[in-house]
Amino acid sequence: MKILVIHGPNLQLLGQREPQVYGKVTIKEINTSLKKEAKKRCVKLDIIQSNHEGEIVDLIGKASANKYKAILINPAAYTHTSVAIRDAIAGCGVPTIEVHLSNIFSREEFRRTSLIAPVAVGIISGFSKLSYLMGLEFAIEMIIAEHKKHAKRG
């Protein structure tokens, strides 16, 4: 079972960038927590952070060919601006969970719209690094349920 985790732009600055909004958690701490949980559940994670929209689009576009069963993405600022990432998710055929550290719906008006949410399975927002862990847990349970459904059929 493989899951792709994508951290969007500026998330490499976590822990130092606007701690009043994002807290003091670092991307390294998030990744360590995700890897620890994945190991317990016998899941392989590939974790990527990119500031480049095209690179993120390419990763999503290759997700199915790379046998990912789910994508966990924090598109960061691209949440509100990237039709390209939205379209890649819509077209890739891999269930995607959108996560955010902060509650985007309680922030500035322009951050309250997610172009990604309508093509994602769901969105988890506002729980700091727990948003990622809840997203991972949901992705794993979703994959297991899908596997069981297919096993019953054939």
- In this prediction, residue 154 carries a pLDDT of 63
Q: What domains are there in the chain, each with its CATH number?
A: 2-153 (3.40.50.9100)
Q: Closest Cα to residue 60, out of 39, 82, 88?
A: 88
* Catalytic residue selected from 7, 22, 68, 78: 22
Query: Quick count: other Cβ atoms within 10 Å of Cβ 19?
Result: 11
Determine the Cα–Cα distance for residues 31 and 47; give it in Å rounded to an integer: 7
Looking at residue 147, its pLDDT comes to 87
Query: Is-catalytic flag, 150?
Result: no
Query: pLDDT tens string for the chain (154 positions)?
Result: 999 999 999 999 998 887 777 778 999 999 999 999 999 999 999 999 999 999 999 999 999 999 999 999 999 999 999 999 999 999 999 999 999 998 888 777 877 789 999 999 999 999 999 999 999 999 999 999 998 888 887 6
Catalytic residue among 7, 68, 78, 100: 100
Has 100 been annotated as catalytic? yes
pLDDT at 150: 80
Length of the chain: 154
